[in-house]
């Protein structure tokens, strides 16, 4: 099955199975952060905000993650909208990965994306980062 540039297909021979690797990495990172918090260890300080007094593009990412662990999506989004969306995307992809691994279904894969579309996606990604940073500069002082 293929929709646009996304196809659902079995893994090709010798193709890397991305789902367990992504699930392992994101789960390890999340559990490590929760363990760090549970042990009462201090969170890293943002050097840009500490030195210059202005938030960096990822300022509020930790507070956004903590708000999500408490189920407060609104606060997570207000703290750092882009990181909140990335965290929610990671959760959705992890749920997909678990389902694929349990039910051994076909994998979703991006097929060849035209170069012009890749360029547009890069511009959109940079625009999102800059827009998020402007938001943080305006609202997180």
Average pLDDT by stretches of 10, the chain with 141 residues: 89 93 96 92 88 92 93 97 97 97 94 94 98 93 62
**Torsion-angle region of residue 104: left (phi > 0), alpha (psi -120 to 50) or beta?**
left
The neighbour count for residue 22, using CB atoms within 10 Å, is 15
pLDDT at residue 37, rounded to an integer: 87
pLDDT at residue 10, rounded to an integer: 93
Number of domains observed in the structure of the chain: 1
Which residue range(s) make up the domain with 76?
2-8+17-139
Q: Look at the alpha carbons of 88, 91, 97, 99 in this order and tell me if their dihedral is positive or negative.
A: negative
pLDDT at residue 141, rounded to an integer: 62
Q: What is the pTM of this model?
A: 0.90
In this structure, what token pair is assigned to residue 111?
A: 């097929």
């Amino acid at each position: 099955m293929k929709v646009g540039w996304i196809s659902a297909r079995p893994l090709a021979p010798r193709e890397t199975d991305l789902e367990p690797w992504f699930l392992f990495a994101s789960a390890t990172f999340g559990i490590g952060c929760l363990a760090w918090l549970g042990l009462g260890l201090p969170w890293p300080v943002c050097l840009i905000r500490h030195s210059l007094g202005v938030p960096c593009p990822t300022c509020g990412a930790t507070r956004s993650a903590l708000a999500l662990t408490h189920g407060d999506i609104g606060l997570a989004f207000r703290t750092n909208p882009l990181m909140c969306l990335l965290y929610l995307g990671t959760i959705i992809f992890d749920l997909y990965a678990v389902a694929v691994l349990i039910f051994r279904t076909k994998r979703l894969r991006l097929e060849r994306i035209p170069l012009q579309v890749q360029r547009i996606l890069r511009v959109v990604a940079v625009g999102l980062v800059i827009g998020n940073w402007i938001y943080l500069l305006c609202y997180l002082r």
